Amino acid sequence: MDVRALIFDVDGTLADTERDGHRVAFNRAFAEAGIDWHWDVERYGELLAITGGKERMLQHWRDVDRAAADAPGAAERVAALQRAKTAHYVRLIGTGALHLRPGVARLLHQARAAGLRLAIATTTTPDNVTALLRATLGDDAPGWFSCIGAGDVVPRKKPDPGIYRWVLDRLGLAPGRCLAFEDSGNGLRAACGAGLRTVVTPCGYTAGDDFTAAWACLDGLGESDAPASGRVAGAAWRGVVDLDTLRGWARA
Ligand code: XBP
Ligand code: MG
C-alpha cells in the first residue's frame, strides 16, 4: 500500500530543542517569577520522562514540595508559568538559535513536491511548533502541514496514542497509509499505539530509550555527504532516507 502522509514529532525529531531550547526557556520563566528552581542538563533529562511542560513542572514541584504542589491554585500557577515559558521559548527560537536536524528540510521538501501530505503530532504547545517551523523553514512553513496536532488538543499526552489518532482522524487516513517520525521511547509508544510504522531518529536525551518496536532506528535521516546508519527491519542499513527509500521499505 502506498504511503500518503508523513507525520512528524517535533522536539528531538525536527530539531534537538530540549537542552538548549525548552530547558533554557523554563529556567528563564522560573527566574522571572522569582522561583528558585533551576533545571540543569541532568535534572532536565530525568524530567523528560514526563511529557508536557505543565506536567513536567508539576512533577518537579511534587518532588521538591509535595504539599504545595497538591494545594489549591497549584495548577493555575503552573499554567501561568507555562505561558511565560512559551513566550521565552518562542523568542529564543525566533533568534535562529536552533536548527533542523540534518535531512529534515530535504525530506519535507521532497514529500511536498511529490504531493504527500505532511502532519505534526507533538506534545508541545502549538505556538512553539509554528515558531520553529517559521524560523527554520520560512514564514509559510506552517501552511505546508495538513494538520498540526499539538499540546492540549487531546486529554492525555504521549505515550498515549491519542495525539496520533487525532491527527489520523483529521487526515482521514488509515495508519497503514502513513509513516511516523519520532525520537523518543514515549513518542514511539504513542505512534505504535495508533498503529503507525515509525522511523526513530534518537537525539541527545533519548539515545538510551527502548526502540525495539521501531520500524527503522537510525542516527538521523542523512544527507548525501553524511549518510545515516542504523537498523531497518532488524538489518543494518546505511544511506539517505528519501521518499524512494521509505517506499522501498514500505513495500518490503
Ligand atoms: C516534547 C515535550 C514537550 C516539550 C516542552 O514533545 O514533551 O513537553 O518538552 O513543551 P514532542 P511545552 O517530542 O512530542 O514534540 O512546555 O510546550 O509542553
Ligand atoms: Mg520528541
Tens of pLDDT, residues 221-246:
999 999 999 999 889 999 999 999 99
Q: Is residue 219 domain-shared with residue 157, that is, in the same domain?
A: yes
- Domain assignment of residue 129, given as a range: 5-17+100-251
Q: Is residue 120 domain-shared with residue 206, that is, in the same domain?
A: yes
Q: Is residue 38 domain-shared with residue 132, that is, in the same domain?
A: no
pLDDT tops 90 at residue 250: no
**The domain boundary residue, chosen from 40, 62, 94:** 94
3-state secondary structure of 17: coil
Q: What pLDDT does residue 219 have?
A: 97
Ligand 2 center to 31 CA (angstroms)? 26
Q: Is residue 25 domain-shared with residue 86, that is, in the same domain?
A: yes
pLDDT tens-digit readout, 151-200:
999 999 999 999 999 999 999 999 999 999 999 999 999 999 999 999 99
pLDDT tops 90 at residue 252: no
Choose the residue to mutate in 7, 39, 56, 156 for probing ligand 1, maximizing ligand atoms within 8 Å of C-beta: 56
**The domain boundary residue, chosen from 45, 62, 94:** 94
Q: Is residue 140 domain-shared with residue 189, that is, in the same domain?
A: yes
Query: How big is the chain, counted in residues?
Result: 252
Radius of gyration for the chain, computed over Cα atoms and rounded to the nearest angstrom: 18
Q: Number of folded domains in the chain? A: 2
Q: What pLDDT does residue 114 have?
A: 97
What's the CATH number where 54 sits?
Answer: 1.10.150.240
Distance CA 81, CA 77 (A): 6
Q: Is residue 180 domain-shared with residue 132, that is, in the same domain?
A: yes
Amino acid identity of residue 37, one-letter, is W
pLDDT tens-digit readout, 96-111:
999 999 999 999 999 9
pLDDT tens-digit readout, 16-29:
999 999 999 999 99
Q: What pLDDT does residue 251 have?
A: 85
Q: What pLDDT does residue 146 have?
A: 98
Distance CA 192, CA 180 (A): 9
Q: Is residue 179 domain-shared with residue 238, that is, in the same domain?
A: yes
Q: Is residue 162 domain-shared with residue 193, that is, in the same domain?
A: yes
Distance CA 150, CA 133 (A): 13
Distance CA 9, CA 191 (A): 10
Task: Provide the mean pLDDT of the chain.
Answer: 97
Residue 18 Cβ contacting ligand 1 at under 6 Å? yes
Residue 163 Cβ contacting ligand 1 at under 6 Å? no
Strands 147-150 and 178-182: unpaired
Distance CA 100, CA 136 (A): 7
Of 161, 132, 133, 168, which Cα lies nearest the Cα of 147? 168
Ligand 1 center to 225 CA (angstroms)? 31
Query: 60 — phi, psi (to 5°)?
Result: -65, -40
CA distances from 227 to 79, 126, 163, 187, 243 (A): 42, 32, 31, 24, 15
pLDDT tens-digit readout, 113-153:
999 999 999 999 999 999 999 999 999 999 999 999 999 99
Catalytic residue set: 9, 11
Residue 52 Cβ contacting ligand 1 at under 6 Å? yes
Sequence-distant (≥ 6) Cβ neighbours of residue 215 within 8 angstroms? 179, 197, 198, 199, 232, 233, 249
Q: Is residue 85 domain-shared with residue 131, that is, in the same domain?
A: no
Among the bound ligands, the one closest to the CA of 52: 1
**The domain boundary residue, chosen from 46, 74, 94:** 94
The arithmetic mean of pLDDT across residues 5-16, rounded, is 98
Q: Is residue 68 domain-shared with residue 114, that is, in the same domain?
A: no
Q: What pLDDT does residue 1 have?
A: 57
Distance CA 63, CA 29 (A): 19
3-state secondary structure of 236: strand
Q: Is residue 58 domain-shared with residue 10, that is, in the same domain?
A: no
What's the CATH number where 133 sits?
Answer: 3.40.50.1000
Ligand 2 center to 6 CA (angstroms)? 15
Ligand 1 center to 12 CA (angstroms)? 9
Strands 197-200 and 178-182: parallel
Q: Is residue 222 domain-shared with residue 168, that is, in the same domain?
A: yes
Element (H, E) at 2: none
The string of DSSP codes covering 83-148 is HHHHHHHHHHHHTT---BPTTHHHHHHHHHHTT-EEEEEESS-HHHHHHHHHHHH-TTGGGG-SEE
